[in-house]
Amino acid sequence: MYDDILLPTDGSEGNRRAIDHAIAIADEIDATVHALHVVNTSEYDGLERSALDSLEASGTDALENVEDAASRISVEVETHLEHGSPYRKVLAAVDDVDADTIIMGTSGRTGLNRLLLGSVAERVVREATVPVTTVRAIDEPMAVDSPTAAVEHAASALADAGHEPAEAMDDPYRGTSSWVVPYRAEDGRFRVHIDGATGATRIGRSGLR
């Protein structure tokens, strides 16, 4: 089972689904998320200090987005801001943080509509020594599109997993592309993570009854 998940992030909206996915898995298996942003100095060599400061600030914001998303459900996050070639830094980080797996988005921000991470993902998939999950951004309406639908979906997921659902403990939290529903069942308390676009679920245990 995974203990440490490496999550490269570029801060783009396209990467939000990968963040939600990594946090859901970490919550389900009690793993730590290592969020990594790489300031791509390999392409922008010789940048003025002000420009580099701006890129670093954007990277810090990207890492804070991961922390904010995880804070609501107490998933442990460690952040890492690096400089250099993105794919090389991602591969090096596997050893640096002793990662068991990599979860990364396959869309992001570039003028060519091909993300920074997307252009890196292929090389990471080919060369990584640990399993890599790529998460595609989906520009479609949410299939689970309301708090009521999220609660109903969570109850169904718990029942399918063999937990007799009792009641939602709080209002569902909506992320960029997902829902998190705190739910009490007969055998404990859970957080049900729902991919808003596909309806796929993961269940994390949040405590005893």
pLDDT beneath 50: ranges in the chain: 108-116, 208-209
- Domains within the chain, CATH numbers bracketed: 4-135 (3.40.50.620), 147-207 (3.10.450)
Q: Is the pTM of this model over 0.85?
A: no
Residue 205: in which H helix or E strand, if any? Answer: strand 201-207
Scanning the structure block, which residue is given the tokens 């292929």?
Answer: 122
Q: Are 78 and 32 in contact (CB under 8 A)?
A: yes
Q: Are 59 and 40 in contact (CB under 8 A)?
A: no
- Give per-residue pLDDT as tens, 124-148: 999 999 999 998 877 667 789 899 9
Q: Are 44 and 33 in contact (CB under 8 A)?
A: no
Residue 61 has a CB neighbour count (10 Å cut-off) of 11
- Give per-residue pLDDT as tens, 52-87: 888 899 999 999 999 999 988 889 999 999 999 999
Q: Are 17 and 197 in contact (CB under 8 A)?
A: yes
Scanning the structure block, which residue is given the tokens 């003028």?
Answer: 111
pLDDT for res 44 = 61
Distance, CA of 191 to CA of 205 (rounded, Å): 6
Residue length of the chain: 209
Helix-helix angle 16-29:49-71, to 10 degrees:
40
Contacts of 16 (CB under 8 A, 6+ apart): 65, 137, 175, 176, 177
